[in-house]
A = this chain, B = another copy of it.
Amino acid sequence: MTTQDDLLPVGLEDALPERARTMTTSMRAVLDAMDAHGYDRVRPPLVEFEHSLAGRMDGVATRRMIRFTDPDSLRTLALRSDITVQVGRIAATVMAAAPRPLRLCYAGDVALLSADQLDPARQRLQMGAELIGTDSVAAASEAVSVAIDALSAAGVTNISIDFTLPDVVDTLAQEAMPLGAEQRDAVRRELDTKDAGGLRDAGGEAYLPLLYATGPFDTAIAKLAAIDAGGALASRIAGLREIAATIGDRARVTLDPTERHGFEYQSWFGFTLYGEGARRALGRGGTYTIKGSDEAATGFSLYMDPLLDALGAANADRRETLFLPLGHDRANAARLRAIGWRTVAAVSASDDPRALGCSHVLDESDVKPL
């Protein structure tokens, strides 16, 4: 006997009407918001050479990709697990001659062979925008702004954004607070777990203030600025302040300067997005360098899945739908659809308007509530 659990592999699921409708609505809103900021959509293919997907950015683990041999080229192909790397490839190759900064956006499904420990899903809808040719403070401000606009347009409320400085340890370790290579790794690990004792034991006492420079932006950035690092952090602190200033009351801003999870390929700036009703982050972004072309870029990716249930509940009001009885006037029905009615036409005398979700019925040429 087939049970419901046997129907689909673990981590793969159908979006049924309500969820699919929320996804469609959110996706359109996000794409329209990115388009309004001048981002052109591109649609890279589902499948590429594994080498191409893996070679353009750090942090993409090929062993977690769905891979197979191409009978045509006999090379290994892979199903994409991240669209950002595909946009990087497009920018570096077919659109290498397009004027900079180049604004590209995307929306599409990505898949993994094996799921994450924290997230059992093996397929996700990824949407995002990339500003290619710059990783300046102005670029970072734009990325943050577009991401907030996109989430707001999709109906996300109570947006908060957490800033990080992905390369802060490297920056400080160079000169101001010198660390050997091994010691640097140990300090990073202790900062990841926010373990003050471990940090001291690892010889990273000077890095302790980083642990406390977290929380609401204004107070956290003041603590970060108080770290005497001979000006090594000055430009980064000024940059973060400038970005935060452009956000205004559109989102709550926090700082966690040592957060590295999810920022494997970002350079000086990274951010994580949260919203009301979502248990996990809704997206991440920051500045980075496209591997291969070594071009600077700034962008973000959104994953709406954690929010679909919350957004779906907000959209759950039943839409008005008009039942068209057998023998209805087709031209009239077409006119009603043209002015916005959703119709359900009877295909047999036994069709039940209420069971089919209709709120109204066409009686001769009159629309009547059911």
Residues of A with Cβ closer than 8 Å to B?
Answer: 2, 4, 7-17, 19-21, 23-24, 28, 31, 35-38, 40-49, 52, 66-68, 70-73, 75, 77, 79, 86, 89-90, 93-95, 99, 101, 103-104, 108-109, 111, 113-114, 122-123, 131, 134, 136, 138-139, 142, 145, 149, 246, 321, 326, 330, 334, 337, 341-348, 351-352, 355-356
Closest B residue by C-beta to A110: B46
Q: Which residues of B contact A136 (CB under 8 A)?
A: 347-348
* Bound-state Cα–Cα, A101 to B346, Å: 9
Indicate if the CB atoms of A131 and B99 lie closer than 8 Å.
Answer: no
* Bound-state Cα–Cα, A89 to B2, Å: 12
Indicate if the CB atoms of B48 and A20 lie closer than 8 Å.
Answer: no
A47 with B16, Cβ < 8 A, contacts A11-B72, A35-B342, A347-B136 known = no
Which of B36, B48, B108, B346 meets A343, CB within 8 Å? B36
Which of B7, B9, B42 meets A93, CB within 8 Å? B7
Smallest distance from the beta carbon of A309 to chain B beta carbons, Å? 15
Indicate if the CB atoms of A345 and B38 lie closer than 8 Å.
Answer: yes
Indicate if the CB atoms of B16 and A347 lie closer than 8 Å.
Answer: no
Indicate if the CB atoms of A347 and B142 lie closer than 8 Å.
Answer: yes
Smallest distance from the beta carbon of A133 to chain B beta carbons, Å? 9
* Bound-state Cα–Cα, A352 to B16, Å: 46
Given A46-B123, A66-B68, 14 other A-B contacts at CB below 8 A? A7-B89, A9-B75, A10-B72, A10-B73, A11-B72, A14-B42, A17-B40, A20-B40, A37-B345, A46-B111, A47-B111, A99-B352, A101-B351, A101-B356
Smallest distance from the beta carbon of A186 to chain B beta carbons, Å? 33
Q: Which residues of B contact A67 (CB under 8 A)?
A: 68
Smallest distance from the beta carbon of A79 to chain B beta carbons, Å? 7
Indicate if the CB atoms of B43 and A8 lie closer than 8 Å.
Answer: no
Q: Which residues of B contact A123 (CB under 8 A)?
A: 45-47
Indicate if the CB atoms of B94 and A4 lie closer than 8 Å.
Answer: yes
Closest B residue by C-beta to A338: B36
* Bound-state Cα–Cα, A149 to B66, Å: 38
* Bound-state Cα–Cα, A142 to B333, Å: 12
Indicate if the CB atoms of B66 and A47 lie closer than 8 Å.
Answer: yes
Smallest distance from the beta carbon of A315 to chain B beta carbons, Å? 13
* Bound-state Cα–Cα, A223 to B149, Å: 62
Indicate if the CB atoms of B46 and A14 lie closer than 8 Å.
Answer: no
Smallest distance from the beta carbon of A140 to chain B beta carbons, Å? 9
* Bound-state Cα–Cα, A356 to B20, Å: 35
Smallest distance from the beta carbon of A52 to chain B beta carbons, Å? 7
* Bound-state Cα–Cα, A40 to B352, Å: 17
Smallest distance from the beta carbon of A6 to chain B beta carbons, Å? 8
State the 4 A-B residue pairs at the shortest beta-carbon distance, nearest first. Answer: A38-B344, A15-B43, A17-B40, A99-B355
Indicate if the CB atoms of B347 and A101 lie closer than 8 Å.
Answer: yes
Can you sample 29 A-B contacts with CB below 8 Å? A2-B93, A4-B94, A7-B89, A7-B93, A7-B94, A9-B48, A9-B49, A9-B75, A10-B73, A14-B45, A15-B44, A17-B41, A19-B43, A23-B43, A24-B41, A36-B342, A38-B342, A47-B79, A47-B111, A68-B113, A71-B113, A99-B356, A101-B348, A103-B344, A138-B346, A138-B347, A142-B345, A142-B347, A149-B334
* Bound-state Cα–Cα, A347 to B20, Å: 37
Q: Which residues of B contact A134 (CB under 8 A)?
A: 347-348
Indicate if the CB atoms of A4 and B43 lie closer than 8 Å.
Answer: no
Indicate if the CB atoms of A72 and B16 lie closer than 8 Å.
Answer: no
Q: Which residues of B contact A37 (CB under 8 A)?
A: 337, 342-345
